[in-house]
Structures are given as structure tokens and as C-alpha cells.
Structure 1
Amino acid sequence: MDFKLPKTPAVFVKNKSFRLSEVDPDDTAPFEHHPDEREDVLPRLQALRQRLSELQELLYAEHSRSLLIVLQAMDTGGKDGAIENLLTGVNPAGVQVATFKAPTTEELKHDFLWRIHAQAPKKGHIGVFNRSHYEDVLITRVHGMIDEKTCQEHYEDINHFEQLLTRNGTVILKFFLHISKEEQAGRLQARLDDPAKNWKFDPNDLKERAYWDDYQQAYEDALRHCSSKEAPWFVIPANHKWARDLAMSEIVVAALEAMNPQPPKVDFDPKKMVVK
């Protein structure tokens, strides 16, 4: 991580002593207190969006490096909303968003990273993984689809894969959107109570909710084993959506600022060009 981390509620996972239980999903410090309303943070968010748009254009023009943003969360954790906020105003031509669901028959014929590598961002692009290669050390572990030895091997494979990407010019930022079990209950109930949001409710979410503690442990172990200076994990307290959005935007913009993308030099003198 070659940039100065801005002051946000986000927690950078530094080592294997990290404890997810020590991160408060309600935390908003050092941000000023705001009601949970987007209008109160719009000025800062708008400034960050404008700067992100400018930096993305430069990254696209430079066309030699890329940025990969990895998002993981419990069900209702807010991944879709976080992506929508982060990419507001960004040129879609320079963005790749990939969502990884259950592997297809063809994908199962290959190693678990095969389908992931194919979606890595091209040079000049910002890539977003809405769920990612980490599903293979989360749901598979919680439901006993892999044993402990295989899980440890997957951690090693993931670290080597991310190292490969960084060596080839991809900056990686990984965000775990951390909500409480109580907040998840409220969000699930809201989907049931609002007819316009019924479509978002998946009865299977209730089954997965029963494994809450197992998922928390699986996430904690993955964060511990797979956070590095080159591909850091950030835990974002996400009970308050405004704080989540602001924290992610601050970190992404800071990382792009540190990349300092530059447009290529032209092979002509613009001053000698005449448009008639």
C-alpha cells in the first residue's frame, strides 16, 4: 500500500492478530456525526466523485496500469449500493464490473481462479469484483465443501494470484463491508415490508443467516491470511451507508492520487495544429 491512508472509520488489516469482533459496524469516527441521510455528506461525496472521474480519465489515457476493487460482505451488506455510489459520474467505458455466482459446469472443469483471472481489469481500466475469488474460502468453508488443508492452500493461491496482478501493474484494494447481525435483520425485514423491494429478498438468505458466526470466523481468517501491503484488506464499518460510501471513496481516490496516472505524450506539436 504505497499511499497515505486517509482518516476514515476503515480498518486496515495488518497482521494475523486481527479480530473482526473488535471492529464496530456502527463506527463513523473520525467523520463528523451525521444523521443517516445522504444529503449531509453530499458536498464531500460530490468532490470525491469529481476527482475520481478526473483520475479515471487519466488512468484510461495512460493505459499502462489498472485498479481492481474487491468487494465482499454478508448478505444485505450493501455491495450494490456501494458500487453505485463509488462509480457515479465515472465513464463506464473505463470500468469493468464482474459478479461471481455459483461456478458453471465449464468453470468447474478448471482451477478456482480460472474464471477470476479472465475478469481482471485491462490496462487503463478500473475493475470491480462484486463478490470474488474469496467465495472459495468462505461459503465453501462454512458449508464443508473444502477441508482445512485445501482452505490453507487456497489462501496461498490467492496471495500468489494477487501478487501476479500487482507485478503486472494492477493496484488492488479489497473492502469487507462490515454490518452487524442486528442491522442485517433490519435490512431483510425492510425487503419484506416494502412491496417494491420484495424482489430483493431471497429466502435462502435466512438459511445462510443461521451460519452467521461461522461466516464471521471464515471472513476473519481470510482477512488475516490474505491482507498484504500490495493487496490490502480494509474493513469498512457499514451499518451507516453514508459513512461506508465516504470511507470507500476517500480510500479509492487516495490510491489513485498515489498512482498519479499521466496521459501519454503526443508525437506532434499542438501549437502547430490548425483547425479550419
Structure 2
Amino acid sequence: MADSRHRLSRQFRVSNGDGFELKHVDPGSTDHAEPGGKQVAAAALAQGVERMAELQDKLYAQDRWALLLIFQAMDAAGKDGTIKHVMSGVNPQGCQVSSFKAPSAIDLDHDYLWRANQCLPERGRIGIFNRSYYEETLVVRVHPEMLARQTIPPELVGEDIWQQRYRDIRHYEDYLGRNGVVVRKFFLHVSKKEQKRRFLERLDNPEKNWKFSAADIRERAHWEAYMDSYEQMIRHTSTERAPWYVVPADHKWFTRLVVADAVIDALESLNLAYPTVSEEARRALAEAHQQLLEE
């Protein structure tokens, strides 16, 4: 993985979204990767996973910070695989994954941040959101009929509702940061051409048929609307405290490398350490040690 002076992931970090345009990020890019491509990346990822495990152990022991990782993407961009490979070395005891699908009737009777709030990681843990409250500025924006199902009083649903939600989210993530929850957000940016190839692979391979849904094709028909919504989302909710990483996703090995580097960067920024033991506790440990020797 990249050292702290020149991290791979920082090339794709958006801390201030003013003027951000999605077209400036090539989904097929592997820029800044070490020479050697896929094979070298596999070794680097293994090294990164090992480093992440060390840091997570300190995060858990220190019990002061929490890390929230949010993943957003179009279908077949590789969210599940990225989470699986990047977090493969993390102790399950200190990590929790929440997948947000269509909201239930109970969810719809609450504000749109309610269900996400129930799944925030505890101190000392890493929480992963596979999709998140950002769906409220994405799929709900592309399909405004979904907004009607939320039974919000009509007088509260105006033309500026998306700007209101961006503002709410910025404030929410700032609140989380001020309470020790470090937020890092990843948009896995896959091209329309590569999505088509992956869809066809799922259809042609019986072992991957289960991954495909007819709804995937219906959503693909709204590609341009989604790209505009993602661009607006990144533009209005990228902050220094809760940055977005716009990660090229046409090459899975590169996607995983960037995400792993970003997670390590976030954990290293916390100056994690194992808790120090007081003199009184040390005396108690010495007594316990002596008692064991005398058995």
C-alpha cells in the first residue's frame, strides 16, 4: 500500500465538491497504481489487509473512535466484492455490515435517517453501509413517485427538497464526526459499457444467474439521470470531515486497492494505540502472575 506521504486513495478523494464533475473521473482508470497491474495489486492488497487488521485491533481495544464506511454505486459496480475482499482480514467481532434495501412500512413512518441511525457502529468498531441514506437523494430523486410513499406533509415537499436533504446530511455527518464517528464515503464509478459486460456475464453463467434481477435493466434505462444525481450528491455532500472517494470501478483489483488504502489512511489518522495500564492495574497483574506461578 502507499505510504502516508503519497497515498493512492488521495488521488480520488473529494473533500470539497464545488465544481465537481463526474466526467473528469475515468471509470477505467488505473492511474497511480504500482507497475505490474493485477498481480502486484494482489500482493499489495494482502499487505493492506494485514495492516488494516492491526489498526482495527487497536481501534477495538482503545474503544474511543468508530469508523463508518458508506458504499454507493450502480448495480454490478462491485460493492459486495469490494467489501468482501477489503475487509477479509478484519475481526468480525469488531465489524458490522448493514445493507439498505427498499424501506419497510415502519421505515416509511419515520424520517429518512431513522433506519440508518439504528445501524451506526459502536465505539471501537467499523460499520459498513452497503447503500445508505444517500438513496434518498439518488433513487428517490430519479423516481419521484417514491417520495409520495413517504407520506411527508405535502407542504414540506418543495422544489428545494434535494438541497434540504444535502444540507441535512452534511449536518448529520458533521454531528457524527464531532461524536467520534469517522465517516468515509465511496462511490464506485463503473462505466455503462462495463456494467453491460457484467450483466451479460451474470446471464450467461448459470452460477451467477442469482445475481441478476430484471429491475437492474429497468434502472439501467435511467443511467443519465443517475449520473446527474450522483454528481449532485458528491458536489453537495463532500466535506473535509466526511469526504467522498470517487473510485474507478471498471477494474475490480484497482477498486479494492483504492478502497483499502483509504480505510487504512482513515485509521492511521486517528493515532490509535493500545490502552495504557495504570500502576495499580500493573500491580494487580503482577499479583495474578505470581499466583499462577505458585499453583
TM range (shorter): over 0.9
Q: Evaluate the alpha carbon distance shift between residue 211 and residue 4 of structure 1 in structure 2; reply closer, same or farther with a 3 A threshold.
A: farther
Retained in 2: the 8 A contact 1:79–1:130?
yes
How many residues in Structure 1 have an aligned counterpart in Structure 2?
A: 272
Other structure's SS at 2:188 match: strand
Q: CA deviation at 1:42?
A: 2.1
Q: Which runs of 5+ in 2 are unaligned?
A: 148-157
Q: CA deviation at 1:216?
A: 0.1
Retained in 1: the 8 A contact 2:70–2:128?
yes
In the alignment, the residues of structure 1 paired with residue 36 and residue 28 of structure 2 have an alpha-carbon distance, to the nearest angstrom, of: 12
| Partner in structure 2 of residue 100 of structure 1 | 100
| Partner in structure 1 of residue 20 of structure 2 | 18
Which residue of 224, 236, 247 corresponds with 2:247? 236
> Given the alignment of the two structures, is residue 195 of structure 1 paired with residue 206 of structure 2, yes or no?
yes
Amino acid at match of 2:177: T
> Given the alignment of the two structures, is residue 6 of structure 1 paired with residue 7 of structure 2, yes or no?
yes
Q: Deviations over 1:127-150 (max 9, x none)?
A: 000000100000000012446421
In the alignment, the residues of structure 2 paired with residue 71 and residue 135 of structure 1 have an alpha-carbon distance, to the nearest angstrom, of: 11
Q: CA deviation at 1:175?
A: 0.4
In the alignment, the residues of structure 2 paired with residue 193 and residue 181 of structure 1 have an alpha-carbon distance, to the nearest angstrom, of: 18
Q: CA deviation at 1:16?
A: 2.2
> Given the alignment of the two structures, is residue 154 of structure 1 paired with residue 156 of structure 2, yes or no?
no
| Partner in structure 2 of residue 142 of structure 1 | 142
Q: Which structure has more helix as a fraction of its residues?
A: 2
> Given the alignment of the two structures, is residue 41 of structure 1 paired with residue 41 of structure 2, yes or no?
yes
Amino acid at match of 2:229: A
Retained in 2: the 8 A contact 1:69–1:173?
yes
> Given the alignment of the two structures, is residue 261 of structure 1 paired with residue 272 of structure 2, yes or no?
yes
Q: Evaluate the alpha carbon distance shift between residue 134 and residue 251 of structure 1 in structure 2; reply closer, same or farther with a 3 A threshold.
A: same
Other structure's SS at 1:72 match: strand
In the alignment, the residues of structure 1 paired with residue 5 and residue 105 of structure 2 have an alpha-carbon distance, to the nearest angstrom, of: 43
- TM-score, L = length of structure 2: 0.88
- TM-score, L = length of structure 1: 0.94
Q: Deviations over 1:198-224 (max 9, x none)?
A: 000001100000000000000000000
Which structure would you say has the larger Rg? 2
Retained in 1: the 8 A contact 2:55–2:267?
yes
Q: Residues 164-243 of structure 1 correspond to what in structure 2 (within 5 A)?
A: 164-243=175-254
Retained in 1: the 8 A contact 2:34–2:40?
no
Other structure's SS at 1:264 match: coil
Amino acid at match of 2:8: K
Say which is worse superposed, 11-20 or 62-71, in terms of deviation. 11-20
Cα-Cα RMSD: 1.7
In the alignment, the residues of structure 1 paired with residue 85 and residue 110 of structure 2 have an alpha-carbon distance, to the nearest angstrom, of: 34
Q: Evaluate the alpha carbon distance shift between residue 10 and residue 244 of structure 1 in structure 2; reply closer, same or farther with a 3 A threshold.
A: farther
Retained in 1: the 8 A contact 2:42–2:253?
no
